Amino acid sequence: MATNQNDEFIREVDEEYRRDQLAKIWARYNGLIIAVVVLIVGGIGGWRYWEHVQETRAQAAAARYEAALKLSDENKTQEADAALEALAKEGDTGYSLLARFRVAAERGQQNAEQGAAAYDALANDSGIAPLWRDLARLRAAWLRLDTVDPAKIRQALEPMAAPSNAWRHSARELLGLSGLKAGDMDYAGRWFDQIAADRETPPALRQRLAVYTALVAGGPVQVTQ
């Protein structure tokens, strides 16, 4: 019985000591504790407000992008281009990036070099993720395939033909085509072989590959007068 009373007494003393210590801590640091709590609550509120603002802006950008596409479908080309270019200048949403790619594509349909230059601007923008910068390089190369020395586009494309690159299939196809256009069948055949060996090559590309390999087998075309 005495032992139980002693244990209870010790617990009461321990609890009283803790309360006393907490009281002293509160008396000394209550201002700091309150400030920290305010900062935490304010930070949570600020983060939620920022999320709300970002979501609102993204929804507005999506609506503007869809409206621009609708204008394009209605053959209101000038209005669509103006809407897309305005959205493209606001580089803080995913739809702004989409608009920049769409503007480059539209320019490429009218003038290959102007479109390629627009893609160059995307490829050189360090604020864009590498995946999309590579896509811009690829699109610029497609537009220049018929107009520039093949060697000039290979430097940008060859790194993208690596097995780990998301755009390797298109990069290899373009590299092979650059070889065909230059009459360099060995170079073209090397890239077409990589396309054939890749198990993840898309079916549509495998169908085109049959034509490409036939062209390689036929050798360079001799132009006669």
Domain ranges of the chain: 75-148, 150-219
Per-residue pLDDT tens over the stretch 151-207: 888 988 999 999 999 999 999 999 999 999 888 999 999 999 999 999 999 999 999
Burial group, residue 32, by CB count within 10 angstroms (0-12, 13-18, 19+): exposed
pLDDT at residue 48 in the model: 59
Q: Are 169 and 134 in contact (CB under 8 A)?
A: no
Q: Are 124 and 93 in contact (CB under 8 A)?
A: no
Q: Please, which residues have CB within 8 angstroms of residue 212's CB and are 6 or more apart in sequence?
A: 173, 176, 177, 180, 188, 192
DSSP string, 131-144: HHHHHHHHHHHHHH
Q: Are 103 and 117 in contact (CB under 8 A)?
A: no
DSSP, res 66: H
Tell me which residues of the chain have a pLDDT lower than 70: 1-78, 80, 83-84, 90-93, 220-225
pLDDT at residue 52 in the model: 47
Q: Tokens at residue 124, please?
A: 């050189």
Full-model pTM = 0.66
pLDDT at residue 177 in the model: 93
Tell me how crowded residue 209 is: count the other CB atoms within 10 A of its CB: 18
